[in-house]
Chains A and B, each alone.
Chain A
Amino acid sequence: MKPLEQTTWQEIELGGLLREPGSARAYRTGDWRSQHPVWTKGRCIRCGVCWTVCPEPAIIEEPGGYFDMDPDYCKGCGTCARECVTGCITMVPEEE
């Protein structure tokens, strides 16, 4: 699918119709983020609560069972940090 910002009015499907499923994938909601989660691996027990509660979901399980954010879609809401069982997630402001 052509990126939205390059689509012209002539290319709009009839009535704004979407023929492919999963079009929301093209919306990089990570652009909205003003802060992001950082995991302290020494305190992480790999329980997966952060992965479970992420509303997007924008937390990826890495090889070895630890977790990290998906920078394309993490909005920086902080739900993971709030719910983390051991308090191993810190929200860090985005740098310019």
Chain B
Amino acid sequence: MAKAKAKAEAKAELIGRAHGPGKRVGMEVSIAVSHAVQLSRAEAIAAYPITPQTHIVEHLSSMVANGELEAEFVNVESEHSALSACIGMSASGARTYTATSSQGLALMHEILFIASAMRFPIVMTVANRALSAPLSIWNDHGDIMAARDIGWIQVFVENGQEAFDHTIMAFKIAENHKVLLPTIVNLDGFILSHVVEALEMLDQKMVDDFLPPYIPRHQLDPKNPVTMGAFAMPEIYTEVKMNHQVTLTNSYEHILAVWNEWAQLTGRSYHPVERYRAEDARILLLTMGSLSEVAKIAVDELREAGVPVGLLVLRLWRPFPFQDLRQAVGDAELLIVCDRALSLGGPGGPVMSEVRSALYHLAQRPHILGYIIGLGGRDVPPEAFKDIVAKAQTEMAEGPSQEFHLYGVRG
């Protein structure tokens, strides 16, 4: 008995017990997300397949069909219907999940606002992908940036482990009675969704202990009828919007509480703005999503070459972490915001625009330059970040040459 225990402990040590209490496995990230949804005991799913999100809902559909997940899986004819069905199922009191990407997210657009305004804690994975035209199935953040103002909580993840972790945490955040807002976990299409990674899976008991069953605060009930989604006169619309705005802003503390609890459980801690070698950096890069891991390689290489560069990773996109960003920037003299989306005819990158706006009031703020990279699946190697840092330093010395740069564009 003791021998078996010692053997199990040795094995656990071997497979990386130090990383956390769960089991380490190699798995495609989409499948890991579907297991996170299964472990979260989602009760209702409505989704439409769209590349590169398809594997997630395909796998969930199999789990439901095979009796491995006790949930209602509704096949629909479009994403507009998928989210509409999710609203109905969430309104009936079920823990509800969906996933989409690109054109699918765009087709959901009007329903996105309704889900959040009616305060249904739906969790959605968005496998970020470029929008047509020209048709592209590859990654950028153009899809979610076009849905920036939908009133949902929005998080970006960097790798498969984070995708798994944040899917489970999203349910707990969304369903908190002081939050009750739908939540999007953004993960980069293909770059994350289709990659096999090593990650730590939690077992059902751990997830059950962490995530209690969903108890709705408002739901459809024939014994206690209510009106949901009613008309609002001009006398009341502004007050309803203010209520939503304050709730989303205040969800910040509840998001952090859940992330802290997760850190206690797994040893993996998450922050709204994460810093990598940023403490003494004169130059900061800022990225979101999977680009951050590539940028870290570039930061390490630049540090070895003596360039005082660091990285900020913007994990929490909504509610926007104003204070965390201001603190993280510190007294850096140059901040290079790397957007993976283009606001056509506007300020360039949507993230750069918001970062610049958030820092504008500071008495001492860095030069802020915007570089747009990785559109429509264009590869971004570490060398690109090193090149951008060099170009930005020149630009800072000579003054900005233009509003923003579409990095690597030919011509």
**Among B227, B235, B238, B240, which residue has its beta carbon within 8 angstroms of that of A21?**
B227
- Complex contacts, A17 vs chain B, CB 8 Å: 218, 226-228
Smallest CB separation, B115 vs chain A (Å): 10
In the complex, B2 has a CB within 8 A of chain A = no
Asked if A21 and B225 make an inter-chain contact with CB atoms under 8 angstroms apart, the answer reads yes
Docked complex: B98-132 residues within 8 A CB-CB of A:
117-120
**Among B180, B225, B231, B239, which residue has its beta carbon within 8 angstroms of that of A8?**
B239
In the complex, B399 has a CB within 8 A of chain A = no
- Complex contacts, B118 vs chain A, CB 8 Å: 15-16
Whether A19 contacts B235 in the complex (CB less than 8 A), given A9-B242, A12-B240, A14-B218, comes out as no
* Interface mask (B208-239 → A, CB under 8 Å = 1, otherwise 0): 00000000011000000111111111011011
Asked if B242 and A16 make an inter-chain contact with CB atoms under 8 angstroms apart, the answer reads no
Count how many chain A residues have C-beta atoms less than 8 Å from C-beta atoms of the other chain: 18
* Interface mask (A41-75 → B, CB under 8 Å = 1, otherwise 0): 00000000000000000000000000000000000
Smallest CB separation, B114 vs chain A (Å): 10
Of all chain A residues, which has the CB nearest B91?
A15
- Complex contacts, A40 vs chain B, CB 8 Å: none
Smallest CB separation, A64 vs chain B (Å): 36
In the complex, A96 has a CB within 8 A of chain B = no
Docked complex: A1-42 residues within 8 A CB-CB of B:
4-5, 7-12, 14-19, 21, 23-24, 27
Smallest CB separation, B141 vs chain A (Å): 28
Asked if B117 and A15 make an inter-chain contact with CB atoms under 8 angstroms apart, the answer reads yes
Whether A23 contacts B243 in the complex (CB less than 8 A), given A4-B233, A15-B119, comes out as no
- Complex contacts, A15 vs chain B, CB 8 Å: 117-120, 180, 218, 228
**Among B228, B236, B246, which residue has its beta carbon within 8 angstroms of that of A4?**
B236
**Bound CA span A18–B231, Å:** 10
- Complex contacts, A7 vs chain B, CB 8 Å: 236, 239
Asked if B217 and A14 make an inter-chain contact with CB atoms under 8 angstroms apart, the answer reads yes
Instruction: Give the total number of A-B pairs whose CB atoms are below 8 A apart.
Output: 52
- Complex contacts, B239 vs chain A, CB 8 Å: 7-9, 11-12
**Among A9, A12, A18, which residue has its beta carbon within 8 angstroms of that of B226?**
A18
Asked if A23 and B227 make an inter-chain contact with CB atoms under 8 angstroms apart, the answer reads yes
Which of A11, A15, A23, A24 has the largest count of B CB atoms less than 10 A from its CB?
A15
Smallest CB separation, A39 vs chain B (Å): 30
- Complex contacts, B226 vs chain A, CB 8 Å: 17-19
**Among B117, B180, B243, which residue has its beta carbon within 8 angstroms of that of A9?**
B243
- Complex contacts, B235 vs chain A, CB 8 Å: 4-5
- Complex contacts, A24 vs chain B, CB 8 Å: 231
- Complex contacts, B225 vs chain A, CB 8 Å: 21
Of all chain B residues, which has the CB nearest A27?
B233
Smallest CB separation, B117 vs chain A (Å): 7
**Among B227, B229, B233, B243, which residue has its beta carbon within 8 angstroms of that of A12?**
B243
Of all chain A residues, which has the CB nearest B242?
A9
**Bound CA span A18–B230, Å:** 8
Docked complex: B263-292 residues within 8 A CB-CB of A:
none
- Complex contacts, A18 vs chain B, CB 8 Å: 226-228, 230
Asked if A9 and B240 make an inter-chain contact with CB atoms under 8 angstroms apart, the answer reads yes
Of all chain B residues, which has the CB nearest A24?
B231
- Complex contacts, A16 vs chain B, CB 8 Å: 117-118, 228-230, 232, 240
- Complex contacts, B218 vs chain A, CB 8 Å: 14-15, 17
| Leading 10 A-B pairs by shortest Cβ distance | A15-B119, A9-B242, A18-B227, A9-B239, A12-B243, A4-B235, A15-B118, A5-B235, A9-B243, A4-B236
What are 22 contact pairs spanning A and B, CB under 8 A? A4-B233, A4-B235, A4-B236, A5-B235, A7-B239, A9-B240, A9-B243, A12-B239, A12-B243, A14-B119, A14-B180, A14-B218, A15-B218, A15-B228, A16-B117, A17-B226, A18-B226, A18-B227, A18-B230, A23-B230, A24-B231, A27-B233
A contact set with B: CB distance below 8 Å: 4-5, 7-12, 14-19, 21, 23-24, 27
